[in-house]
Amino acid sequence: MEYKVKDISLASRGRQLIYWAERNMPVLMRIRERFERERPLAGITIAASLHVTKETAVLVRTLARGGARVALVPSNPLSTQDEVAAALAEEGVAVYAWRGMNEREYYNAIGFALSFSPDITMDDGADLTASVHKLAYGASDDTVQHIRETAGSIDLAKLASRIRGGTEETTTGVIRLKALHREGKLLYPIIAVNESYTKYLFDNRYGTGQSTWDGILRATNMLVAGKVVVVAGYGWVGRGIATRARGLGARRVIVTEVNPVRALEAVFDGFEVMPISRAAEIGDVFITATGDVRVISLDHILRMKDGAILANAGHFNVEIDVEGLERVARSKRTIRPYLEEYELPNGKRVYLIGEGRLVNLVAAEGHPSEVMDMSFANQALAAEYLVKNKLGVGVYKLPDELDVEVAKLKLSSMGIEIDELTEEQRRYITSWELGT
């Protein structure tokens, strides 16, 4: 089996990391046991573009035990855990991943995944799915050229027509794919895993809430107590980060928003809300979590205090204007792993973590296994659902029964029991006749 990883001799360390993840992913392990018996993915090839982490390895092993052949490539150039990539390669998974890819290598990886002529695409951020569509529509930009370099003899223009369906892990990926569908250009059905309750309410909120701080602390070893923290965006990710900032003792937690309802929620949750132009002058630590572009602009950065720390937890590296910062900085140097110091033209210094890419996956290990347990249970069930059901082109949520099943399994793995409706209660809350 072919693979390209940083160092295959890291495999035994990778196996230990995966073992630790498996211990903490009981729902996915339950699904794996069933997949081993039922083999629902027999004969199916899956091209997966996901962060190559120990948790993703547990998903990949589960899909493989269900009968699938999996080609795994990264969904971010800086998030691969090289030990994990080596362990998977050694056990026969087609992996093309290492930490620190340049843009060409990143799209070469996508070409490698597509060379397996997948039945299903599994994506995080929609780079893989968007590439399949670009190829179908005959685009010829640099990314397409890089894909062709590794795709072998596959007819890339025809790939989309043989793909049964795809899955998408994250908010921004779902937004991109819905936009594609709105333009009438989506070519196969997508299951928006991010829209399962057992995904976004937990992964985006509690997962990112904790792992973002894990990344910031590993990169800086700073004390949060006493600091002024600014969180841009009060979606599921932003509220997780803001809540954990408070728990770590931040002196003030300021939220910036563009959506009036969400801004109001932040106020009623007890956070200060103000425009970023004002917050820029006050904050010690800035964290973006919007999925938007240039939320912290160069102008904002130039107003910041000397020593301000900048990190991004939203998609891609465009939420903070890193390009602008690079352009005007008098000098730049690495202070610690994933911590860059920029000297600004006004003499102040600011510190950027992980090149402005996802701080939790670049400077730490991403979400803890316990939370990825539910996200990836949804991914495994989505793959099975695509095989068992013929869907028309569209962006779908997984059926509620499956979502609820994941919640039940998680509760049961934690030894937590809940009540059941009595027949009388069921009737009462579903009828219109019964009142005062």
User: Residues within the annotated binding site?
Assistant: 53, 124, 169-172, 199, 203-204, 233-240, 257, 313-315, 360, 367
In the bound state with ligand NAD, the residue whose beta carbon lies nearer, of 111 and 233, is 233
Instruction: Report in angstroms the alpha-carbon separations of 414 from 370, 409, 417, 418.
Output: 10, 9, 9, 12
Neighbours of 260 (CB within 10 A): 8
Q: How would you class 352 by CB atoms within 10 Å of its CB: exposed for 0-12, middle for 13-18, buried for 19 or more?
A: buried
Q: In this complex, which beta carbon is closest to ligand NAD, that of residue 49 or of residue 290?
A: 290
Q: Which stretch, 102-110, 130-138, 242-250, 286-294, contacts ligand NAD (CB under 6 A)? A: 286-294
Binding positions for substrate are 53, 124, 169, 199, 203
Cα separation, 8 vs 88, in Å, equals 9
Beta bridge partners of 48: 72, 122
Spatial contact of 189 and 393, defined as CB atoms under 8 Å apart: yes
Please identify, among the stretches 184-192, 233-241, 326-334, 393-401, the one whose residues bind ligand NAD according to the rule CB under 6 A.
233-241
256 beta partners: 232
> Of the candidates 261, 322, 256, 263, which has an alpha carbon nearest to the alpha carbon of residue 287?
256
Q: Does 313 bind ligand NAD (CB under 6 A)?
A: yes
Please check whether residue 21 is in contact with residue 57, taking contact to mean a CB–CB distance below 8 angstroms. Answer: yes
Report d(CA 436, CA 418) in Å as an integer. Answer: 28
Binding mask 181-220 for ligand NAD (x = CB under 6 A): -------------------x--xx---x------------
The whole-angstrom separation of Cα 181 and Cα 354 is 33
Using CB under 6 A, pick the residue from 11, 15, 26, 55 that binds ligand SAH: 55
DSSP string, 42-107: TT-EEEEE---SHHHHHHHHHHHHTT-EEEEE-SSTT---HHHHHHHHHTT-EEEE-SS--HHHHH
Residue 170 touching ligand NAD (CB under 6 A): yes
Contact with ligand SAH (CB under 6 A) among 372, 386, 387, 406: 372
Contact flag: residue 76 with ligand SAH (CB under 6 A): yes
CA nearest to 363, candidates 57, 81, 4: 81
Residue 65, interface with ligand SAH (CB under 6 A)? Answer: no
Q: Which residue of the chain is nearest ligand NAD when measured via CB?
A: 235
Q: Closer CB to ligand SAH, residue 79 or residue 150?
A: 79
Residue 290 contact among ligand SAH, ligand NAD, none, beta carbon within 5 to 8 Å by kind = ligand NAD
Q: How many of the chain's residues bind ligand NAD (CB under 6 A)?
A: 29
Alpha carbons 188 and 396: distance in angstroms, whole number: 11
* Site for ligand NAD contains 356 (CB under 6 A): no
Q: Which residue has the tokens 């992913």?
A: 25
Shortest Å, Cβ 432 to ligand NAD: 33
Tokens of 213: 């701080």
Q: Which does 56 bind (CB under 5 to 8 A by kind): ligand NAD, ligand SAH, none?
A: ligand SAH
Q: Which is nearer to ligand SAH, 120 or 128 (by Cβ)?
A: 128
> With CB cut-offs between 5 and 8 Å by kind, which of ligand NAD, ligand SAH, none does residue 237 bind?
ligand NAD
Q: Answer for the pair 238, 289: CB distance below 8 angstroms, yes or no.
A: yes
List residues near ligand SAH by CB under 6 A. 50-51, 53, 55-56, 75-76, 124-125, 169-170, 203, 207, 315-316, 358, 361, 365-367, 372, 375
The binding site for ligand NAD (CB under 6 A) comprises: 170-172, 200, 203-204, 208, 232-238, 256-259, 262, 289-292, 295, 313-315, 358, 360
